[in-house]
Homo-oligomer: A and B are copies of this chain.
């Protein structure tokens, strides 16, 4: 499949959404869907859907709609799901625990290989089959298992020095819950920021301006 190399972020951000909807269709035994029907479910226009999928080479046949299983597998492949990237979790407090327990990394393109936290009460505990280690062991563990991604569930103040260490250990990507603006200091790092409270404030706006 030919790939357009200048794919815009909004298109990329819609891919996981397609993947989610296709997963549901698959699970409901639906094997073929038109862009019109997919558009109704996803509340995107049919032409938007065709445009999006064309960025990745197009998958549909004129008049026959999309093969759900094939499209699901293909988008999964584009997202890098079949060859999971090794990840570590830094910060095993409430949020880190929720992330580790709530997210099925394997079906999202990652494999959690190690968990770190410096709180004396947490070190040595088990989190989802991983022993929580102090960050003094970061370097050794990263040399052994060579993770490429770090999930940051630490306070903003602690983040800059941890990020420096992680970059030195070969970490390339960050799933960043910390509110520290990694790219301001490290423009080349691959960063996905999760600002849950931004979403909450957007809801506050919408409820106050309904």
Chain A residues near B (Cβ < 8 Å)? 12-13, 15-17, 19-20, 41, 43, 78-81, 83, 85, 94-95, 97-99, 101-105, 108-110, 148-149, 172-173, 175, 179, 183-184, 190, 192, 194-208, 210
Contact = CB atoms under 8 A, between A and B. Distances in A.
Contact of A15 (B95, B179, B190, B202): B202
Contacts of A207: 80, 85, 148-149, 172-173, 190
B79 A205 contact: yes
Number of copies: 2
Given A101-B94, A149-B203, A195 B16 contact: yes
A151 to B, nearest CB: 9
Contacts of A17: 195, 198
A104 B205 CA distance: 16
B184 A41 contact: yes
Nearest to A193: B199
Given A12-B202, A98-B97, A197 B103 contact: yes
Given A95-B98, A207-B80, A109 B201 contact: yes
What is the predominant secondary structure among interface residues of chain A facing chain B? Answer: helix
Q: Which of A83, A97, A202, A204 has the most CB of B within 10 A?
A: A204
Nearest to A204: B109
B190 A206 contact: yes
Given A110-B204, A204-B85, A207-B173, A103 B196 contact: yes
A172 B16 contact: no
Contacts of A101: 94-95
B184 A203 contact: no
B210 A20 contact: no
A83 B205 CA distance: 11
A12 B207 CA distance: 12
Q: Which of A148, A183, A198 has the most CB of B within 10 A?
A: A198
A119 to B, nearest CB: 14
A15 B199 contact: no
A203 B110 CA distance: 10
